[in-house]
Chain A
Amino acid sequence: MAENEILENKGTPAKEVPLPGSATPAELRAYYSPLRYGLGAVLAFFGISSKTHRASKKRAKLVADIVTYIILLFGAFVMVYPFWWMIAGSFAATAVKNDFIYDLVWWPEFSVLNQKDLNGNVYGFFYNYQFFLGGAFDTAISMGYLGVTFWRALLNNLLYSIVPVVIGVITSASAAFSFAKIQWIGRDVVFMILLAAVMVPGPSIMITQFVMYSDMHWQENGLVLLIPGMFGSIMTAFFIRQFLFGLPTSIIEAAKIDGAGYFRIFCQFILPLAMPAIMAQGLLSFMGCWNNYMGSYIMIPYNSPAINLPHAMYLLNVNILKSNLGPNIAASVLCVLPVIILFGCFQKLIIGSLMLTGSKE
């Protein structure tokens, strides 16, 4: 308004600005300089509307989609590249020269069949894996750095990540059932007290737990990684409880009228109905236990036969494989691959559960 007034005062007639929607291209071209008009055309091609051209919505969406894909693909590359590097590196011929793994960008100087290393040992394509599974463990055991073979460590790892998780998730689910669907005196108080345990940080009670477990002699035999997990965890119970709130109480009431006891209701109704939540929580804690390097490192003595795979890997790294990096990376692959395969199989369930509960493990 003010602008118009100024223009009128100056006496020059206000020139009507042609708009890309109403004016013809010829009018627009006459009004703007060729440079500005050309720029507008280029912008419109990339889906951006300007004074000279109006971009179509379809084009705008297409361009935005392409940009999104480029960004996401770049991000995905950054997220996945170290894993590619890991797998490629596990085949590098580090027995000949460690530099092969340092120089690795896309693919390494591979181990080749029947090539000899500096000590005259013949090795093949899977040399790094063979060396890690056999030679490295044997040397470590004979030198007293380690008390387990690879297979024992793997068995321990499976034991520590299956037994406590399966039992723990069932005990958590039973507690969740009790908190969500049974009315008993003091229920909410007990729940709040248990939930407050989340506030206690693990490292601050690490020392007393260490003394407790060593008094009970749970450390050398690995019970420390088995028994505490069997009692379930309050966070698991919390998430299953949230899920159970979504189930209709009428099912339980109907079962009660038909004469089913609570134990039967839990086994025959709650467990099958809450299976998606139970499975997702179980898988997440399985992955947590599989990667539980800290638990074994802190609680179990290094020469005990009860240490788990990441701990064995750490001990081999600091004692034997410091200078031979190929087997080290092969060990990393063996450690990471099972969980990634498991995650690949159940990704829908896990991601769905994460999105539902908003937890991140």
Chain B
Amino acid sequence: MEENLNLSDESVADVPVEISADAAGAAVAAPAKKKHTVNQQKLQDNLWGWIFCLPLIIGTVWFVYYAFILALMLSFTAYDASQGGLMDAIKNYTVHPEGAFYWYKQLFETVGGSDLSGNYDFVDVTDPATGLVISQIDIRMNEMGRYLFNTVFYMIGIPIGMVLSVFFAVCMSRDIKGGNLFRVLYYIPCVASSIAIVYTFKIMFRTNGVINSVLGLTDFKYPATGKVGFIWISEDTTLGANWNQLCGTSIESGFMLDPYWCQGFFSKAVIIIMSVWKGLGGTIILYVAGLSGVNAATKEAAQIDGANGWQIFWKVTMPDLYPVIFYNIVTSVIGGLQIYAEPELLMSESTASTGFPMVSGYVALIYRYGIVEQTFSRGAAYGMFLAIIIFILTLFQFWLDSRRSD
């Protein structure tokens, strides 16, 4: 690659080259030697330019682009762990026997429990008077639908976090002493390990934990089972009967009995609270940086013209913040689509986790099919679907960005 470029460089050197600012060193040389030294300089520039970024180029091409192209290729095959190494798969490349897009179809067509233990298939309906199981209702639904809904549901945290961080950033950028200290304190959760934070929150949200004591929910009674204390995180299917009684719904209400919906919202709320809390510091710093760029002269002019604080905030400060807010929302949505560790850690109780339909994000499906079940092609196809979504979002961002600058 380098050799090629150097050669091509010499071939163009016959054409008179303009002396760039970088070739200032060559410019001091005598005019007769000038052409030669310029070439020498250019050669040096090209050679060292490539050498300096070679490691980064190799790393990115090898670990990102090569992996991406392979993932795209493998997603059309039936490759799994039984078929040997990657090289064998490429040499004997054949598309999936049931069609190249088999796994993509599976993604949309897989219906059912999506849990190895068979939960989320059927749920018992118990008669509150006798406590006996009178029937079962079918709660199966599209697997990707469940996981993708979780992922999208967590994005409720993005506007909440945005409003809170703008609010705190405005407070911090006031002319007060110790603003820097607050910035540091608010940023601490961002640097903390997510596993430690998840375990802490898991215990804090127990039925008799701190959160329930503060909110006064330790005495919350579940009428059907007689349990005391509000349950935030649980996949227990028997809780549904309690919700039926509390909300006065029919005892066969699938919405209440499926732990994914009614009870699941509380478990998902824990993750939203946790991610808002963890991400707040980072966005506050972004907004404080954005606010420091707000034109002080414009603010003063508005003040003289008789605008009050509220008007100044909406008409002067916010328009200057919009680019930062916009950038932050886009990165949060793209990051939010890739949520995996937090829900998994919150629920996991065994070494090999196959995903938790109640809380897991979409990435849990990739992990489950690709790594736990070792059907690499399926995992790759599921990953490609995520890449497509994120790619479209990125293009949308560029489109909005270009419209704004026009």
Contact = CB atoms under 8 A, between A and B. Distances in A.
A272 interface: no
A123 interface: no
A297 B70 CA distance: 22
A207 to B, nearest CB: 4
Given A102-B209, A183-B49, A329-B203, A206 B55 contact: no
B86 A211 contact: yes
A315 B57 CA distance: 36
Contacts, number: 311
Given A215-B85, A343-B187, A207 B383 contact: yes
A336 interface: yes
Nearest to B64: A197
Interface in B174-196: 174, 176, 180, 182-196
Interface stretch (A28-36, A74-82, A131-139): A74-82
Interface residues of A, number: 105
A83 B185 CA distance: 11
A99 B213 CA distance: 13
Nearest to B87: A215
B245 interface: no
Interface string A334-361: 0110011001100100010011101011
Given A75-B168, A178-B49, A343-B191, A204 B384 contact: yes
A258 B292 CA distance: 41
A234 interface: yes
A283 to B, nearest CB: 9
Contacts of A294: 340-341
A154 interface: no
A205 B370 contact: no
B196 A174 contact: no
Contacts of A332: 193, 195-197, 199-200
A294 B87 CA distance: 26
Contact of A205 (B327, B383, B391, B394): B383
B28 interface: yes
30 contacts: A65-B174, A68-B171, A82-B197, A82-B204, A82-B277, A85-B210, A86-B200, A103-B208, A174-B56, A183-B22, A183-B45, A190-B53, A194-B57, A194-B60, A203-B363, A205-B67, A206-B379, A207-B74, A208-B71, A231-B63, A257-B24, A293-B194, A293-B195, A302-B351, A318-B350, A332-B199, A333-B196, A335-B195, A340-B188, A360-B279
Interface of B: 5, 8-9, 20-22, 24-25, 28, 44-46, 48-50, 52-53, 55-60, 62-68, 70-71, 74, 85-87, 168, 171-172, 174, 176, 180, 182-197, 199-201, 203-204, 206, 208-210, 213-214, 277, 279-283, 285-286, 288-289, 292, 324, 327, 331, 334, 337-338, 340-341, 345, 348-351, 363, 366-367, 370-371, 376, 379-380, 383-384, 386-387, 390-391, 394
